[in-house]
Amino acid sequence: MKPLLNWLDARTGAVSLVRRILYEQIPGGARWRHCWGTALLFTFFMQAITGFFLLTSYSASAQSAWESVYYIQSEMLAGWLVRGLHHFTSQIFIALLAIHVLQSVIFHAYTAPREFNWWLLLLLVPLGMGMSVTGWLLPFDQHGYWAARVPLNIAGIIPGIGALQQKLLLGGTEVGHLTLTRFLSLHAGFLAAATGTVLLVLCAWDRRHRPVVGANPNVAAPYWPDQALRDAIVCLAVLTTALFFVIRPRLIDPAAPLGAELGAPADPSEPFSAARPVWFVLFLFQFLKYFPGESEVWGAVVIPTLVLLMLVMMPFVGRWKFGRRFNVGFILGVAGGVTMLAWLAIAEDRGDPIYRLAVEDATRTGRRAVELAQSPAGISTLGAVALLRTDPYVQGPKIFAKHCSSCHRYGGHDGTGRIPKDPQRAPDLKGFGSREWLTEFLNPDNISSTKFFGGTKFKDGKMAKFVKKEFTGDTPAEKEQLRKVIIAVSAEAGLKSQRDADKQDARHIAEGRKLFDAEIGCSDCHRFRGGDEETSAPSLSGYASRQWLIGMISNPGHIRFYGPRNDRMPVFGDDKILEPQTIALVADWLRGEWYEPPPPTNTLTSASAPAGGK
Amino acid sequence: MPSPAIPPGAADRRSFVKKVFAGVLGAVALLSPLAAGVTMFFDPVRRRKRQDAGMIKVATLDSVPKDGLPRKFAVVASRTDAWNRFPRVPVGAVYLRRTGPRKVEAFNVACPHAGCLVDFDEDNKSYLCPCHNSTFTVEGKRSADSPSPRDLDALEVQVRKDNGIYVKFQQFQMGQAAKVPLA
């Protein structure tokens, strides 16, 4: 063995290098506090490894970035693990860096001849921030998109070079293909190489000038094995922490996917009120709130740069009589300020119900995007954003809230969970056309209530009078007749939720259709399955079906519906208030027609194994 | 190292010329690829946005209620993103508000501060940016303590004979008091 090693060493010098590293005497012996640097280096290596493998499956374009990340996260073997580790380790890197900087100031590890060690360490701060800003956008989900707009804007407000710098980063005037390609090449290319180089040089220089402060100068021990063991334990602790964060979502919510969250695909036209930067930038986010108008450049650029300059000057400041104490006071002040600002931001959001709703909505929409991506239809070349734009489950409530909820309600709210300001003036449409809805509507006690006709001019109209007169004090036989009519009318809707019930009750439906004409006398006013077009009440042929609803929303004043008796309902389609696709979306949503994934067979494997529907 | 056979002065001169050439040639070799790359990287700076937007129809007069409160409408137009052209996609949104029987006011929904999309808060009758809490009145005027450097960006708007509301949809440089369209 020995001759072989000697032969190798004579040609490469590798063996003596390893020996020098392992057996170098460390002044003061093995200490836990020497582990921070190693932990930082290990964190970087973890990022490099997971980052490389993410890069093997990532596609940087506005049309495929989210899609490829979704594929990594939800479809690929261990994709969630690799992405999760990359996501959380990046945050550990920043945390370790902050601790390392703090530690270096407190133990004044910047003093001669370690000035360059200190400056290199400080260089990691902008590099780490740059890595974070560029990496955050790459999944191209709503979180990343909206969070990236702020640093891009800050790049633009720097006097003189701002606009140019912003254009170079964006690759144009808006976030798009070129922003992603640029950010990726900065993230995985330039910044990664720079960070790696700085860390390696820092390691070499730390060996050249060991920080000896606080160490007993009379004691020394080799790196191997005492310090190496401590380093290994610390690296394992870093890994364990990252793994904990990867599985943490599942510990909080059993339905949550493992690993890092993936929001809905970025959509510049879809507001995202849940936009917040990553936790270690929250302080800056909060800080900006205190700089009105054009003074923003002070908060976003000038003050942070001055603080960083102050840190750079620490080796010189430290030479003065009270310099070291001043430096410690300064760094503690900065750390305290940063912590307080971040805490303020969190506290403000905690107490904000609108923000909470926005976060819930963001999570729901993000998971829905994944569901749709996994549906048999899959992601077309139009990208995942088109899936959400054409999904009744996502769009229905928004359309309803905006265009319908000033009069109608959906289960008492506006479809999105908020209570509209305007009083209810038209029926609650949750479950519209279903047996339950019709049963409740045709109850003499309910028909003139606010939930149904109470807010309309039909409150005391013919229908309300008819229901109150005919259906009050019904005998059980009459009640049975009414039930069959309800089943028959509701069957016209062909609701997905009633498919089985409609099939089962075919005989009752047939009876109900006859009763509609004969016994109950609905056909005196309503047209039903043929008959006179010119009736005094809306046609119930195909009642609450997709086509019927689209017709009703498009033009409630049509002779098929309310005709001239229409009460204030806008003519959404024929007046071109809404596009036909929009009307169809809200009709589908009211009818519960949207893609639903098959129930997961095993929740534990659903994150790694291809989900159902394939 | 100069060889002892050559007089010292000549050796120094020759050595100086060599040094200059080594430096210059080395720099040319090293910097040329860098210059080529940087030139390409600067391409977006000279590129101008395609000015094809013009007036875009975003809504009809009937869809804007007469209560004088703003409603949000998506702006659908074609968009070019580097090598792709997307026909008819949502490119942004505007708030429309009636100011008269046939008069409408339009604002870009993007907050001039950092570009988040502002919400209209019906309870307080004001716009609120969910990011840094800038607030604006119904008329789009910023309140004094807002981080936003200017009022909401008003857009050129026309109500045409077909009752269509047409808006000249523009984005502006964020974070500064002057309203400069992005080109």
| 3-class secondary structure, B85 | strand
pLDDT the model gives residue A599: 82
- A173, A271, A402 ranked by CB distance to B49: nearest: A173
| pLDDT beyond 90 at A544 | yes
- Peptide bond preceding A304 in cis form (omega within 30 of 0): no
Q: Is A398's Cβ below 8 Å from some Cβ in B? A: no
Which of the four pLDDT bands, split at 50, 70 and 90, describes residue A163?
confident
- Determine the distance in angstroms separating the CA of A587 from the nearest CA of chain B, rounded to an integer: 18
pLDDT tops 50 at residue A609: no
Residues A93-124 pLDDT 10s: 999 999 999 999 998 889 889 999 999 999 99
Q: Read off the pLDDT of residues A223-281 as tens digits, 9 standing for 90 and up.
A: 889 999 999 999 999 999 999 999 999 999 888 899 999 999 998 888 888 888 889 99
Q: What share of chain B is helix, strand, coil (3-state, %, to 5)?
A: 20, 35, 45
The pLDDT value given to residue A605? 47
Does residue A596 sit at the B interface (CB-CB below 8 Å)?
no
Res A534: pLDDT? 66
Average pLDDT over residues A316-328: 93
- Is the Cβ pair A269, B75 closer than 8 Å? yes
Side chain identity at residue A428, one-letter code? D
CB nearest B60 (choices: A63, A146, A575) = A575
How far apart are the C-alpha atoms of A272 and A358, rounded to whole Å? 7
pLDDT for B92 beyond 90:
no
> Regarding predicted confidence, which is higher, A309 or B68?
A309
Q: How confident is the model at residue A345 (pLDDT cuts 50, 70, 90)?
A: very high
| A602 pLDDT more than 70 | no
CB contact under 8 A, B114 and A288: yes
Q: Taking CB atoms and an 8 Å cutoff, what residues of chain B touch A267?
A: 90
> DSSP per residue over A93-140, as a string?
HHHHHHHHHHHHHHTTTTSTT-HHHHHHHHHHHHHHHHHHHHHHHTT-
pTM for this entry: 0.88
Comparing CA positions, the residue from B119, B4, B156 lying closest to residue A270 is: B119
- Tell which of B61, B116, B166 to mutate to test the A interface (max A CBs under 10 Å): B116
CA B72, chain centre distance (Å): 21
Q: Which residue of B has its CA nearest to A159?
A: B176
DSSP string for A175-229: SSHHHHHHHHIIIIIIHHHHHHHHHHHHHHHHHHS---TTS-TT-EEEIIIIIHH
Q: Answer whether residue B115 shows pLDDT above 90.
A: no
Over the Cα atoms of chain A, what is R_g? 33
A168:B42 CB<8 A: yes
Average the pLDDT over B30-35 and give the result. 96
The answer to whether B53 faces chain A, any CB pair under 8 Å, is no
DSSP A304: H
Residue A535, pLDDT > 80, answer no
Cβ distance of B60 and A153 shorter than 8 Å? no
- Partner-chain contact A288 B147, CB within 8 Å: yes
Q: Given B93, B147, B182, which is nearest A296 (Cβ)?
A: B147
Q: Is B50 on the interface with A (CB under 8 A)?
A: no
Q: How many CA atoms are closer than 13 Å to the CA of A36, on its beta-carbon side?
A: 16
Q: Which residues of A touch B37 (CB under 8 A)?
A: none
Sequence-distant (≥ 6) Cβ neighbours of residue A608 within 8 angstroms: A77, A78, A79, A80, A81, A258
Please check the confidence at residue B183 and state whether its pLDDT lies above 80: no
What digits encode the pLDDT tens for the residues A503-515?
A: 999 999 999 998 9
Lowest mean pLDDT among A414-418, A607-611, B1-5, B8-12: A607-611
Q: What pLDDT does A608 receive?
A: 44
Structure-block tokens of residue B69: 């409160």
Sheet holding B157-159, edge to edge: B55-60, B164-168, B157-159
Q: What is the pLDDT confidence band of residue A532, given thresholds at 50, 70 and 90?
A: low
* Prior bond of A225 cis (ω within 30°): yes
Interface of A with B in 253-312 (CB under 8 A): 267-275, 285, 288-289, 291-294, 296-297
Return the exposure string of B107-128: e unless at least 16 CB atoms fall within 10 Å of the residue's CB, then b: bbbbbbbbbbbbbbeeeeebbb
Is residue A29 within 8 A of residue A99, CB to CB? The reply is: no
Q: How far is B156 from chain A (nearest CA, A)?
A: 19
Please report the number of interchain residue pairs, chain A to chain B, with beta-carbon separation below 8 angstroms: 130
pLDDT of B41 over the 80 cut: yes
- Closest by Cα among A330, A334, A333 to A322: A330
Taking residues A562-570, report their average pLDDT: 90
Mean pLDDT, to the nearest integer, of A521-538? 80
Q: Is the pLDDT of residue B27 over 70?
A: yes
Question: With an 8 Å Cβ cutoff, is A606 touching chain B?
Answer: no
- Closest by Cβ to A268, choosing from B92, B173, B183: B92
CB distance from A389 to chain B under 8 Å? yes
Give the separation between CA B59 and CA A589, rounded to whole angstroms: 23
Q: What is the structure's pLDDT at B51?
A: 56
Distant-in-sequence, close-in-space partners of B7: CB < 8 Å, separation ≥ 6: none
Q: What's the ipTM?
A: 0.85
Chain A residues in contact with B130 by the CB 8 A cut-off are 271, 273-275, 354-355, 358
Report yes or no: B142 and B135 within 8 Å, Cβ to Cβ: yes
pLDDT (0 to 100) of residue A333: 96
Q: Which residues of chain A have a CB within 8 Å of the CB of B111? A: none
**Taking CA atoms, what residue in B is nearest to A142?**
B116
Q: What is the enclosing helix (H) or strand (E) of B15?
A: helix B8-41
| pLDDT for A607 beyond 50 | no
Measure in Å the smallest separation between the Cα of A1 and chain B Cα atoms: 43
Q: Does the pLDDT of residue A33 top 70, yes or no? A: yes
- Nearest chain A CA: its distance from B31 CA (Å): 17
Mean pLDDT over each residue of chain A, to the nearest integer: 90
Most confidently modeled range among A444-453, A528-537, A598-607 = A444-453
Angle at A392 between CA A264 and CA B72, to 5 degrees: 75
Closest CA to A464 of A515, A563, A537: A537
CB-CB under 8 Å, A178 with B44: yes
Considering only alpha carbons, which residue of chain A is nearest residue B110?
Answer: A271
Give the whole-number percent of chain A exceeding pLDDT 90. Answer: 65
In this prediction, residue A251 carries a pLDDT of 94
Cα A266 from Cα B25, distance rounded (Å): 48
Q: Inform me whether the pLDDT recorded for B173 exceeds 50.
A: yes
Q: Is A177 on the interface with B (CB under 8 A)?
A: yes
pLDDT tens for each residue of A182-206 = 999 999 999 999 999 999 999 889 8
At B52, is the pLDDT very low, low, confident or very high (cuts 50, 70, 90)? low
For residues A572 and A553, is the Cβ–Cβ distance under 8 A? yes
CB distance B90–A389 less than 8 Å? yes
DSSP state of A24: P
Mind listing the pLDDT tens digit for each residue in A281-290?
A: 999 889 988 8
Residues B129 and B113 sit within 8 Å (Cβ to Cβ): yes
Residue of B9 and A233 predicted with greater confidence: A233
B116 and chain A in contact, CB less than 8 A: yes
Residue of A nearest to B59 (CA): A577
Average pLDDT of span A357-376: 93
| Nearest chain B residue to A358, by CA | B130
Distance from CA of B12 to the nearest CA of A (A): 36
Least confident range from A589-593, B1-5, B14-18, B153-157: namely B1-5
pLDDT at position B22 is 95
B153 contacts B160 by C-beta, under 8 angstroms: no
Task: Determine the distance in angstroms separating the CA of A293 from the nearest CA of chain B, rounded to an integer.
Answer: 3
| pLDDT, tens only, A6-23 | 999 999 999 999 998 889
Q: Which of A459, A486, A457, A454 is nearest to A568 (CA)?
A: A457
Nearest to B92 among A176, A269, A421 (CB): A269
Please give the residue of chain B at the shortest CA–CA distance from A172.
B44
Query: For residue B168, what pLDDT is reported?
Result: 92
Res A213: pLDDT: 62
